[in-house]
Amino acid sequence: MTKKAIQADKRKREAEARRKRDKAILAKAALLPDAPAKLPVRPGGVPCLRCEGTGQISSPCDHCKGQGFSVVTCRTCSGQGTYSQEAGPCVRCGATGVLRDGSRCPRCKGHKVQLAFSAPCAKCSGTGSFQLPCKSCGGTLQVRTPCPNCQGTGTFHPKA
């Protein structure tokens, strides 16, 4: 296995792990109430003063530095903003001019060679980077975590 194939496989695994993590975060975020509900005080407990009985603590997001998004370098064009192809034998049809299904190759138009070209990258619109919503706060600039004092219940139980 070549180094490029190993790197591509690693990027694919990392992307799949990111997708799974983002999906789990969105699922948990959907379960959170929009307005904090006042929880009834259970016997032997008092409303938690740290989270004001909500069970959640909000803190400013330090991942996106207050922007709500992250700037990512485009992998398609390696941050250059243009997609280039060198002249030479057509790689799509294997320099035969005909595709496997018998149709004429649309890339080389049957001439068996592909021409050199350079065009703006379609993924980043030629800028070399693009913005993604912040994975930590989802663009809200606030990260919500369970309260460590009451373990997310909203009620503090003093230790006996």
**Which pLDDT value is given to residue 153?**
81
List strand residue ranges (DSSP E) for the chain, in order: 46-47, 56-60, 69-73, 82-85, 88-89, 113-114, 117-120, 129-133, 142-146, 155-156
pTM over 0.75: no
**Which pLDDT value is given to residue 118?**
77
**Which pLDDT value is given to residue 27?**
76
**Which pLDDT value is given to residue 104?**
92
Instruction: Compute the mean pLDDT over every residue in the chain, rounded to the nearest whole number.
Output: 78
